[in-house]
Amino acid sequence: MFVVCKYQVRASMVKSNQSSFRRILVTRILLVFVPVLLIGEMVTLNKARSSLLNTARQNLKDSAIYKGEKITNTIATLKAILMSASKTRIIQSASTETAEKHLQEIAALLPSTIDCIQLQSLPRKPQKNSQTNQIIASTCGKQVINEQPLSVSNYQDNSDVKITVIPPPKPGTTGTNNQEGKLQLILSQPVNNLRGNLAYVLLLKTTLHRHTENHPESLTGSLIIIDENGKIFAHLLPEKIGSNIQKYVNFANLKTLIKDAIKGKQDSTYINFSDSQEFVVGYTAINSPLTQEKSKKWIILSVSSVQDSLSGLDEIKLILIALTVGLIGAGLWISLYLAPYLASPLEELRDYALNIHSHHAAQPIPRNFKIKEFNQLVQALDQMVERLKAWAEELEIAWKEAKSANTVKSQFLATTSHELRNPLNIIINCVRLVRDGLCDDREEELEFLKRADDTAIHLLGIINDLLDISKIEAGKLSVFIAPLDLHQLLLEVINLQSVNIQKKGLQLKCEIGNKPIPVKADEVKLKQVLINVIGNATKFTDQGSITIRTEIIEDQNKFYVNVSVQDTGIGIDPAEQSKLFRPFVMVDGTTTRKFEGTGLGLAISRNLIELMGGKITLESLGLNQGTTLTIQLPLIDISLLSKSTKNRV
């Protein structure tokens, strides 16, 4: 009835055209917060794009200057090496073997951009093709590196190094020169023979890559070289080499760029080399290495697409998106956090009153309002809640006491039924053997009756312990520890349990030796544990054998005896083995449910063994693979055994 009234109150307070204070606060904050964030993100992206492009322009300008200086320095170095080599007697002697060895030594000292060095003879008259030039020495085999034939007349005007650009192969040809759009040059230096006559020429073929090394973490761009007339000597597209910039759509801007570079300006700009893509270009000018005239220039361009220049913008976008989502989440959290502080005291009291019926409510009652009436209402609600709590605590205590009493009763009944079953079975079996006349003679009948009598006395001791209610409620069992012979005790237990083992048709194997095993334990309790362990092995084994063995071990200069009971029974799943030593717990499965038991046996056994200073463990490889239970007890000096015990041995 109270729950029904609660929902009726809530329904009457909330109308369809009303909204909660927190919802209004959240929506208003988001309506202002989200547009501001989106505008800020757009402004930041535009600023980042502008900054990346400015950085790209500066880097490409520096890259163009660097590439121009490197080309100039490389060509000057190669010219100096050629001039120096042409004056050596080895080259002037034109001995094929010594000259080729010398050229190999020179090539080893030159940069990796050197493709070949050749020493050729100069005919007096021009030949029809370059293949007629005789190669005296070469670092790249017998392939002539110059496409144009040479003669003495080519070097009559001066003896300076001549430089020519290797053009790309024509479309449809299979030439190998300049197939990747690289700048390839041939430097040639005339060489006099030993008599001082012009007779040879020293040729050097070099490749200047369009992608040259630059400073780390800078945008280098691709290399384009144009002379002052607009002829292209190097380009990222091989088919463009040898053409003129007049073919470009944006020819006017390129022409202006060339004029600015010739005037000595070093800068960067944007140029469209095609209709679909825009490029960022850094430019500078160097003296043309093809001529001695200083008015002739090469314009060095370092080119990168705008898309490549803005490669870092995607990462900035991801960061901004993550930041936006985080800020929106933070704004939402702030609005939810501020709502309780901005709500009215009446709303706080209303929420508390509506949830006061909950037994698990942990929210304290609101206090310290500035309005007196609210504080008086708080005091009244507080007194009412305290009375309700007192009544609830009384009911919970009474419920726990009833539950505890029921648990104690269940534990008592389960423990009694489990601990009495095995001794009673032994007594019943012995009596029935005598009653049914299955004994061979009177002596065997007396032996079974004595076994039943011993078991009955043992059972009486167990009942006396179980009837000690104070011990059961405290969860403790008392033990009387004294020296005893474990070997003799094992023989007694095996004698008691052999009837059940033989009745199931199982084979009993005993590997316990014939020497005394002195331990300190409670004889009655230890006997109870051994009976329980062997009884469990018998109960869970339908065929096969039960092996009982003892083993003396040493651990950290202390000696222990291990009593293991191994069966070939149903085994235990490794995942379930840890549950077996808990009170009232059994492995619950289709294989084991058919066996009776309360789950107290191993739990009681473990407590008893631990009270005697030992430990008990269980191992099983899995279902249907048997089980081995091991009891470990510390050994004592055999001299501590009583005389009566020794006499029994």
pLDDT for residue 594: 53
- Of 506, 549, 563, 543, which Cα lies nearest the Cα of 624? 543
**Cβ contact 120:135 at 8 Å:** yes
Query: 225 exposed, middle or buried (CB, 10 Å; 0-12, 13-18, 19+)?
Result: buried
pLDDT for residue 323: 83
Query: 136 exposed, middle or buried (CB, 10 Å; 0-12, 13-18, 19+)?
Result: buried
What kind of architecture, by CATH, is found in domain 51-309? 2-Layer Sandwich (3.30)
Quote the Cα angle for 458-462-468, to 5°: 150
| Strand (E) or helix (H) holding 190 | strand 183-192
pLDDT mean by block of 10 residues, the chain; 649 residues: 42 55 70 79 86 87 88 87 86 84 84 82 66 78 78 68 77 51 82 84 79 52 85 80 78 85 88 77 88 84 83 82 82 69 65 64 65 71 79 85 68 64 85 86 87 82 55 61 91 89 90 91 89 89 92 89 92 79 52 47 78 90 89 89 54
pLDDT for residue 615: 92
**Cβ contact 615:609 at 8 Å:** yes
State the Cα–Cα distance between residues 77 and 105, nearest whole angstrom: 16
Amino acid at site 437 = G
Backbone angles phi, psi at 165, to 5 degrees: -95, 130
Q: Range(s) for CATH 3.30.565.10 in the chain?
A: 477-648
**Cβ contact 426:499 at 8 Å:** yes
State the Cα–Cα distance between residues 3 and 357, nearest whole angstrom: 8
pLDDT for residue 230: 84
Q: What is the topology classification, in CATH, of domain 477-648? A: Heat Shock Protein 90 (3.30.565)
pLDDT for residue 18: 64
Q: Range(s) for CATH 3.30.450.20 in the chain?
A: 51-309
**Strand 518-521 with 482-485, pairing:** antiparallel
- Of 264, 306, 296, which Cα lies nearest the Cα of 283? 264
State the Cα–Cα distance between residues 633 and 479, nearest whole angstrom: 15
State the Cα–Cα distance between residues 498 and 505, nearest whole angstrom: 11
- Of 22, 24, 27, 28, which Cα lies nearest the Cα of 343? 22
